[in-house]
């Protein structure tokens, strides 16, 4: 086993696709009961059908709504008797081609509402239960972009940097009862990355209708992997399951002496900065 999560109840936000879905799958494989949440429950409904509704509980949740977060956390604790793990995977990222469409005020508001306030809301929601039961583990999903910068993509890395700083501060605030860590992926091919490509094409097409509007395809995934192969020390970008395994370790009792840390799952890309 990657990490023994038997007997644990986990709340995973953004579990409908990408990293959040991979985390939910990994946690179930390691024995946890997962309360899988997303603002759009289609993905988590499919996950529950596949893995079993005893292992995966589906809840619709908008992490930007603090009241809703608190209500969900309270209901999970009441129905399961305990709430051991929280993974903050809900996130939003903007189109990756920003030379033609720089981040707008609305982009900044959206990124910080989901990527920062959403993490804060989720963490604050589980704190009362974890404190009262005397234990808990929180893992936030960061990004390698929190440690770097791009000329035209400001809102997303800024939001991830803010969430990472919050994670580290929270680890101090909640010690020794609750451990708080982050996993920072590098370039991950996921549903979110596919949406980035689709949005990029829409932006370009809107500015120049002569450019065909195409949806992402398997060729895009191949090109994505090829483009990162040369610049990643371990030779490839990451898959959601790579991140999920690291999250499972940090969430588990095997990491009982680890808190306030950021574990990079990026194929070594961070060492090039």
Decide if 106 is inside a domain: yes
Decide if 196 is inside a domain: no
pLDDT given at position 218: 60
> What pLDDT, in 10s, does the model give residues 222-250?
666 666 676 678 877 788 999 999 999 99
* pTM (two decimals): 0.87
Decide if 144 is inside a domain: yes
Decide if 205 is inside a domain: no
Q: Are 12 and 87 in contact (CB under 8 A)?
A: yes
pLDDT given at position 41: 94
- Residue keyed to tokens 């038997």: 6
Q: Provide the residue range defining the domain that includes 112.
A: 9-186+239-272
Decide if 18 is inside a domain: yes
Spatial strand order of the sheet with 136-141 comes to: 56-60, 33-38, 9-13, 85-88, 136-141, 178-185, 262-265
**Ramachandran sector of residue 139 (left: φ over 0; alpha: ψ -120 to 50; beta: rest):** beta
Decide if 98 is inside a domain: yes
Query: Which amino acids are annotated catalytic?
Result: 156
> What pLDDT, in 10s, does the model give residues 48-95?
999 999 999 999 999 999 999 999 999 999 999 999 999 999 998 775
Residue 219: pLDDT above 70? no
Decide if 244 is inside a domain: yes
CATH number at residue 107: 3.40.50.720
Domain count, the chain: 1
Q: Are 93 and 142 in contact (CB under 8 A)?
A: no
The three-state secondary structure class of 37 is strand
Decide if 199 is inside a domain: no
Residue 60's nearest CA partner among 79, 86, 42 is 42
Q: Which CA distances in Å does 239 have to 18, 62, 126, 169?
A: 9, 25, 28, 28
Residue 141's nearest CA partner among 258, 23, 55 is 23
* Structure-block tokens of residue 110: 């959206």
């Amino acid at each position: 086993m990657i990490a023994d999560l038997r007997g644990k109840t986990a709340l995973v936000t953004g579990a409908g696709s990408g990293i959040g879905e991979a985390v939910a799958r990994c946690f179930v494989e390691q024995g946890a009961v997962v309360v899988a949440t997303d603002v759009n429950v289609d993905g988590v409904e499919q996950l529950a059908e596949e893995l079993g509704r005893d292992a995966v509980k589906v809840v619709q949740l908008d992490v930007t709504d603090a009241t809703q977060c608190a209500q969900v956390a309270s209901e999970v604790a009441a129905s399961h008797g305990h709430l051991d793990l929280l993974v903050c995977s809900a996130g939003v990222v903007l189109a990756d081609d920003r030379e033609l469409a720089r981040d707008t005020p609305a982009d900044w508001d959206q990124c910080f509402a989901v990527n920062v306030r959403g993490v804060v809301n989720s963490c604050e929601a589980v704190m009362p239960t974890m404190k009262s039961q005397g234990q808990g583990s929180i893992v936030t999903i960061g990004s390698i972009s929190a440690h770097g910068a791009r000329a035209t993509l400001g809102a997303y890395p800024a939001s991830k940097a803010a969430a990472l700083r919050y994670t580290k501060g929270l680890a101090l605030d909640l010690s020794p009862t609750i451990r708080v860590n982050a996993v920072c992926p590098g370039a991950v091919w996921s549903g979110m990355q596919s949406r980035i490509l689709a949005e990029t094409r829409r932006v370009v097409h809107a500015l120049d209708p002569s450019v065909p509007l195409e949806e992402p395809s398997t060729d895009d995934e191949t090109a994505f992997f090829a483009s990162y192969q040369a610049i990643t020390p371990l030779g490839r970008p990451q898959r959601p399951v790579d991140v999920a395994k690291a999250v499972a370790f940090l969430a588990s009792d095997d990491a009982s002496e680890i808190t306030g840390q950021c574990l990079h799952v990026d194929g070594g890309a961070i060492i090039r900065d």
